[in-house]
Structure 1
Amino acid sequence: MVRPDVVVAGRICIDLYPIRSGLALEDVPSFSKSIGGSATNVAVAATRQGLDTLLLTRTGDDPFGRYAVQELARFGVRTGTIRPVPGMQSVLTFCEMFPPDDFPLYIYRNPTAPDMYLDLDDVPLAEVAASRVFWATATGLSREPSRAAHFAAWRARGRAAHTVLDLDHRPTFWDSAEDAAAAVGPALDLVTIAIGNADECEIAVGERDPDRAADALLERGIELAIVKRGPKGVLAKTADERIEVPPIPVEVVNGLGAGDAFGGALCRGLLEGWPLARTMRFANAAGAIVATRFECSTAMPTGDEVDAFLARRSMDETGGSGG
């Protein structure tokens, strides 16, 4: 067994994004095609950061499913466990682009998605347990057998360091917010890092205020709580540190992949053992870069790109050349 740096479990889809922004979907003349889904984007983002990454998911039994696996392989993501669900179609996701902050999504899951059929046969528990980071999203808990597979993976790790739960919440995937809260609650007892925005934190721990939400997560045994604050930046808390990272002003093209870029870069910082402040700045910058780009998976930056972006910002802020 080769020990992966990162194992990611969760959604995969085909993103069909308009080639022109500012148009309602019915007026869009044509679309670009790329792979997407939060977990898939995080896997690509981590790989672009130089990390050996394995994605656990399932695809449709169709040409789009074959395309998804081919694209993952092209990016360097490990795909050896991915198999199609017989008779199911791949998920298609359309969006509208109204920069800087309005990007409606239309996700075609009829009535559910192949990734919800992830089961124990698709989860190499030894690799999950041995991986340096295990990343999963709360949406993976919205249906069986995916929910059971996720809990089996977490139990195999025994709440090891760098066990991440992205609180990612899509209301249409759940029967109700109460159902989501009932599933996410037990998951918090098995992970060490939790990430979410105000809405997602409210579902997980009943708190919207960033500091109170982070504190409530820490009280559940979480070692690192990260609260995304949108235009106000990011708050990260541990038992000993409180780090606020302000937003980075950029000209937004598409804000949909920024959080996933943040996730892949966070994995890099965790595994490099960087101080929390440096990790948050690096991850925040990765998200800002993707917000200036058109697609999601194809937009994920390398570590060198993030470093260069931060260096340019530092020069701009000091008004000097650094020489």
Structure 2
Amino acid sequence: MGSSGGGNTLDLLSIGRSGVDVYPLQTGVGLEDVTSFGKFLGGSPTNVAVAASRLGNRSAVITGVGEDPFGRFVRREMRRLGVSDEYVARNANFNTPVTFCEIFPPDDFPLYFYREPSAPDLQLTPDDIPDEAVANAKVFWLSVTGLSQEPSREAHHYALDLRNGSGWTIADLDYRPMFWENEEIAHAEVERMLSKVNVAIGNKDECRIAVGETEPDRAADALLERGVDIAVVKQGPLGTLAKTKEERIVVPVTPVEVCNGLGAGDSFGGSFSHALLQGWDLPKALQFASTAGAIVASRLECSTAMATEVEILHKIKNHPETTPVIEKR
């Protein structure tokens, strides 16, 4: 039985990873040769909440941290960036995870996760879920990484069952093989989850794990067949494809000089959630999210790099070539 959670209705509530990103301050250099690093708040669902907060939304994260200095940093930095830490569990048995990356622009950004033998966010149980906050949040965001292990898997399904068709429930198909026992288990768990969400977002390989398809149109159709209302397939330099039962939308990529592409997807997610909260139509929401992702890809860090609405709309105005292409189905 989860806790009740109080306060006003959240615009966005996410669940899943949090930790510390330790990113090199030199690009084009392997970790063995890096001499200086920056320390940033990290974890994909946490970054999504930061992006939503940067755009003026009331956001929070259900996650876990260790009883250690990095755990204190995570909670403090969340608050500094406008995200509530009310639902952050503290776990004395596991360290707050740390993630390193290498930066080889424009498209090579290896990640190294230090989350063994487990991470506090994967130790979440239904008792850590704030029932009322989950049920009432306007947007509830999850990453499939949280389905990779128990007890987090049970906690995620407990939260999803509280939604009961209310608001937007969005699944980031963020598949990372190092968190899973094998692809077969990942496919089964992601497919089980899809019936409980109304938006799914992923790249081609993540769609392969979710529905066994990599061709973008077939992948989007397969996601719709699983019950989602909006299927979004990110295609890198080919832009973003989205489908509903009524529309097929393609948003061309926003041209930027890429510095670090790792935060782009989280920026996309928080900005897309913001657009839905504003009631914008789907083409406008996708263009806004795609542009926000491009802006963050042009910056070094993730959480502290999230764009403001003014920055995003200015970028859109200067790049009319990113106007969505819409086909009725």
| TM band (smaller chain) | over 0.9
Q: 1:316: Cα distance to partner?
A: 11
Q: Name the stretch that deviates more: 168-177 or 77-86.
A: 77-86
1:208 paired with 2:214, answer yes
Partner of 1:90: 96
Other structure's SS at 2:41 match: strand
SS of residue matched to 1:295: coil
Aligned pairs (5 A) from 1:3-152: 3-152=9-158
**For 1:262, which of 263, 268, 278 is the aligned residue?**
268
Query: Which amino acid is 1:149 matched to?
Result: A
TM superposition shift of 1:312: 2.5
Residue matched to 1:321: none
Question: What is the alpha-carbon distance in structure 1 between the residues aligned to residue 266 and residue 96 of structure 2?
Answer: 21
Where do 5+ consecutive residues of structure 2 fail to align? 1-6, 324-329
Choose the corresponding residue for 2:231, options 220, 225, 233.
225
Could you give the per-residue CA deviations for residues 135-184 of structure 1, whole angstroms, max 9, x where no partner exists?
Answer: 00100000111111110111111133411011100100000000101111
Moved more, 76-85 or 64-73: 76-85
Is 1:195 aligned with 2:201? Answer: yes
Shift of 1:315: 10
- Cα distance in 2 for residues equivalent to 1:82 and 1:103: 28
**Kept after mapping to 1: 8 A contact 2:287/2:322:** no
Is 1:289 paired with 2:295? yes
Structure 1 moving runs of 4+ over 3 Å: 314-317
**Partner residue in 1 for 2:327:** none
In structure 2, distance between residues paired with 1:132 and 1:225:
19
Alpha carbons 2:266, 2:293 under 8 Å: kept: yes
Structure 1 residue identity aligned to 2:255: P
Q: Which amino acid aligns with 2:62?
A: L
TM-score, with structure 2 as normaliser: 0.94
**Per-residue deviation, residues 104-152 of structure 1 (Å, max 9, x unmatched):** 1111111221110111122111111111100001000001111111101
- What CA distance in whole angstroms lies between the structure 1 residues aligned with 2:151 and 2:258? 38
> In structure 2, what is the Cα distance between the partners aligned to 1:316 and 1:236?
14
Question: Separation in 1 of the partners of 2:242 and 2:169?
Answer: 16
Please report the RMSD computed on the Cα atoms of aligned residues, expressed in angstroms: 1.4
For residues 264-294 of structure 1, the C-alpha deviation after alignment (integer angstroms, 9 at most, x for no partner) is 0000111111111100100000000001111
What's the counterpart of residue 241 of structure 1? 247
Aligned length: 317
Counterpart Cα distance in 2 of 1:161 and 1:315: 32
- Alpha-carbon distance in structure 2 between the residues aligned to 1:115 and 1:25: 26
Matches of 1:158 and 1:314, distance apart in 2:
39
1:239-267 deviations in Å (ceiling 9; x for gaps): 10110011111100000000000000000
User: Is the CA contact (8 Å cut-off) linking 1:115 and 1:146 kept in structure 2?
Assistant: yes
TM-score by length of 1: 0.96
- The C-alpha deviation readout for 1:194-252, integer Å capped at 9, x for no partner, is 01111111111111110001001111111000001111110011110110011111100
Distance, in Å, in 1 between the alignment partners of 2:125 and 2:41 is 22
* Structure 2 residue identity aligned to 1:67: F
Q: Is the 8 A contact 1:161 1:192 kept in 2?
A: no
Counterpart residue number, 1:159: 165
Which whole-Å CA distance do the structure 2 matches of 1:316 and 1:67 have between them?
38
Q: Secondary structure at the match of 1:257?
A: helix
Identity between Structure 1 and Structure 2 (%): 52
Measured after TM superposition, the shift of residue 314 of structure 1 is 3.8
1:87: Cα distance to partner? 2.8
Instruction: Give the Cα–Cα distance (whole angstroms) in 2 for the partners of residues 313 and 202 of structure 1.
Output: 32
Measured at CA, do residues 170 and 126 of structure 1 come closer, stay the same or move farther in structure 2, by a change above 3 Å?
same
